Structure 1
Amino acid sequence: MSQTTILSKKLVKSWIPKRKKESHKGDYGHTLILAGSQGMSGASVLAALGALRGGSGLVTVATPKSQQPILAKHLAPDALTLSLPETSQGSFSIKAIQMILPWMERRKIACLALGPGISRNSQTALFIKKLLFALDKNKGLVQGIVIDADGFLALNNGKGQSPLLEKISLPIIVTPHLGEMAKFCNVSKAQIEKDRVEFLKKFAKLYRVICVLKGYQTLISDGQKTYLNPTGNPGMARGGSGDVLTGLIAALISQMVSTKNCDKKELLLKAASLGVYLHGLSGDLAKKEKTEIGMIASDIAEYLPSAYKKVIHD
């Protein structure tokens, strides 16, 4: 692991966004989360909780029309919801592109998070691709993009490549776990595990993205700098944990992009690394009270304020 820097409390403390006394919600960014499908509304809720507890000034969750009432019930009064056109299977329809782009322009979105629970419906995958192409043509529309789960897999051409990622130039963070990375690249998990650091660096460099390879000792890389995360525990190995992380990283980007004269790539790398560290630390704090067996994904979001407190004040 000589090629990596191990994240520490001292290192990440300096990356936590500062808050001024004279400020308002607009100073801490508007995070938009595109998530959910029929039977997967929980992923939307967990991503939203990650963004809310992560500190975003405003959080809106856009979800397929049939899922919006479910979402509103679970997120009121803290987050906003937006219903978008859906397929017959209750996932995002290609028609959603006509609504979401003008909406984003009006609302001045700082960071877009997409992927949690969106399904692998072919029309939904097409929506994701068209959305990214549109954002590439309108680069000022969003300052950062976090792509997770089915959103990440939608970018693959089925042959272990992503012509889309090669063509576009956007401030993107992708957050696959080992299985998703293996599927995306059409390789075995064992091939990746032979040298996770080198594999990750090559992927990040090829597609010009920040890549978070989730798992035991999660790795974060921009193709040059690579960080290893020491926080976290086996109790976090359950459905929804990654959704919380997606929302958290997006919230950090939303708060950090207001920094003047910042290097965008460096900012994204710090946001991703800080998010991973806080996420794992929150899981460690939850473990103390809930145990590894009894803790659930929403506990990770619940303990995020305590994780912030531990890093800032201890």
Structure 2
Amino acid sequence: PVVIDADALTALQGHTEILTQMQAAKVMTPHPGEMARLIGKEISEINADRINIAAQYAQKWNAVLVLKGAPTVIACPDGTVYVNSTGSSALATGGSGDVLTGIIAGLAAQEITLQEAAVCGVYLHGKAADISGIDIGLAAGELAQFLPEARCEVLKGN
């Protein structure tokens, strides 16, 4: 499996046909700006139709597509779409997406499906931000400190 984020998404701009040719299972984690550049739309267009755009391109690129933002949308190649219920504006900080990518990659390495890794990863990422109690300016390193507690809460069913 492959997790595609940040500079890898930038490198794909104008070359998205690579995504349909890839044989590897893949998760893509663009924020609205990266998604806009990939598909040639404005950020406002992405945000106005997050669910449909994520679903369309997850199917087109045969990828689990995690469209970061408020709310984060996880779209799957089979047409299934999830809308995450956790997280806050505390996640709108540099490095937060890197933490998310790491969580998803770590979960995928545990031999669960990429869909499960993406859905669980996004939920845990947001839950950690919620637990932090910080509304703005949560540093990525600080976010990671709340992940064990978020995992325990989820295992308890909270």
If the length of structure 1 is used for normalisation, what is the TM-score? 0.48
- The percentage of counterpart residues that share the same residue type is 39
Partner of 1:146: 3
Q: Does 1:198 align with 2:52?
A: yes
Q: For residues 203 and 179 of structure 1, what CA distance do their matches in structure 2 show?
A: 15
* Cα distance in 2 for residues equivalent to 1:184 and 1:253: 24
Structure 1 residue corresponding to 2:131, chosen from 269, 285, 302: 285
CA positional deviation for 1:236 = 1.4
SS at match of 2:149: helix
Q: Within 5 Å, which residues of 2 pair with 1:225-304? A: 225-257=80-112, 267-287=113-133, 291-304=134-147
Cα drift, residue 165 of structure 1: 1.0
Given that 1:213 and 1:219 are in contact with CA atoms closer than 8 Å, whether structure 2 keeps it comes out as yes
| Structure number with bigger Rg | 1
Partner Cα distance (2:75, 2:43) in 1: 18
Structure 2 CA distance, aligned partners of 1:218 and 1:243? Answer: 15
Task: Give the residue type in structure 1 aligned to 2:9.
Answer: F
Segments of structure 2 that go 5 or more residues without pairing to the other structure are none
In structure 2, the residue matched to 1:176 is 30
Q: CA deviation at 1:179?
A: 0.7
CA contact (8 A) 1:283 1:299 kept: no
User: Which residue pairs with 1:310 in the alignment?
Assistant: 153
Any idea what SS the aligned residue of 1:183 has?
Answer: helix
Amino acid corresponding to residue 309 of structure 1 in structure 2: C
- Between the aligned partners of 1:197 and 1:246, the Cα distance in structure 2 is 20
TM-score by length of 2: 0.93
Superposition CA RMSD, Å = 1.3
Query: Among 214, 222, 237, which residue is 2:76 paired with?
Result: 222
Query: Aligned pair count?
Result: 156
For 2:109, what is the secondary structure of its paired residue? helix
Q: Pairwise mapping of residues 121-136 of structure 1 onto structure 2 (< 5 A)?
A: none
Aligned residue for 1:255, secondary structure, equals coil
Q: Does the residue aligned with 1:256 lie in a helix, a strand or coil?
A: coil
Unaligned runs of 5+ in 1: 1-143, 258-266
Which whole-Å CA distance do the structure 2 matches of 1:225 and 1:308 have between them? Answer: 24
Q: CA deviation at 1:299?
A: 1.4
Q: Which residue type is aligned with residue 168 of structure 1?
A: M
> Which stretches of structure 1, 4 residues or longer, exceed 6 Å deviation after superposition?
none
Distance (whole Å) between structure 1 residues aligned to residue 39 and residue 16 of structure 2: 9
Match of 1:187 among 28, 41, 53: 41
Distance 1:173 1:204 in 2: 9
Deviations 1:130-187 (A, max 9, x none): xxxxxxxxxxxxxx11110111121222xxx512112222110000000110011111
Letter in structure 2 aligned against 1:226: V
Write the distance in 1 (CA, Å) between the matches of 2:136 and 2:67. Answer: 24
User: What's the CA shift for 1:273?
Assistant: 0.6
User: How far off its partner does 1:294 sit?
Assistant: 4.9
CA gap 1:293/1:199 in 2 versus in 1, 3 angstroms: closer
Structure 1 residues 312 and 202: alpha-carbon distance in aligned structure 2, compared to 1, 3 A threshold: same
Q: Does the C-alpha gap of structure 1 residues 191 and 294 become closer, same or farther in structure 2, counting only changes over 3 Å?
A: closer
